[in-house]
């Protein structure tokens, strides 16, 4: 999926999860929803963190480790048990997982249990294609309706 679809989906999740509006948690959720694409240098986050993107791209294949369930679990563990920031740990977990969920629906799919199991979970949506555009507008419409 494209970054804008990940963005509106993350915002929609935030609106559905947070009882009251919290701009800090919303920003954390949105930023964390972009983390899995750090391993590709042409992504929005890859362009912002060029050195980190270059290194992760050399170490891992795109939609491999950074698109596995292990990544949100690692972040959750770090924020919750090392820094004692349970709420941020949960928000980061949800942000990254939202990205994984959407990419799981694409034809390229993700290796959900990478690096242990390389079998991909694939969907039917073409990245940037018609169905993704429809999903984008559905998510955007739901955000607007929820905000009214």
Q: How far apart are CA 58 and CA 54, in angstroms?
A: 6
CA distance 14 to 22: 9
Does residue 144 contact residue 15 with C-beta atoms inside 8 Å? no
Quote the pLDDT of residue 34. 96
Report whether 116 contacts 122 (CB < 8 A).
no
Q: How far apart are CA 111 and CA 119, in angstroms?
A: 6
pLDDT of residue 92: 97
Tokens of 64: 């491999």
Ranges of each domain in the chain: 3-147
pTM of the model: 0.92
The answer on pLDDT for 104 being more than 80 is: yes
């Amino acid at each position: 999926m494209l970054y804008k679809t990940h963005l509106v989906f993350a915002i929609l999740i935030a609106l559905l999860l947070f009882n009251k509006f919290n701009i800090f948690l919303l920003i954390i959720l949105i930023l964390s929803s972009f983390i899995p694409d750090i391993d590709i240098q042409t992504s929005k986050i890859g362009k912002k963190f060029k050195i980190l993107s270059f290194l992760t791209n050399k170490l891992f294949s795109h939609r491999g480790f950074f698109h596995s369930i292990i990544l949100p679990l690692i972040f959750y563990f770090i924020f919750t048990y090392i820094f004692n920031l349970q709420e941020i740990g949960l928000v980061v977990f949800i942000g990254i997982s939202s990205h994984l969920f959407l990419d799981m629906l694409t034809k390229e799919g993700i290796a959900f249990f990478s690096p242990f199991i390389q079998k991909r979970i694939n969907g039917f949506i073409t990245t940037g294609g018609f169905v993704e555009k429809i999903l984008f507008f559905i998510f955007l419409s739901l955000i607007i309706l929820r905000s009214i």
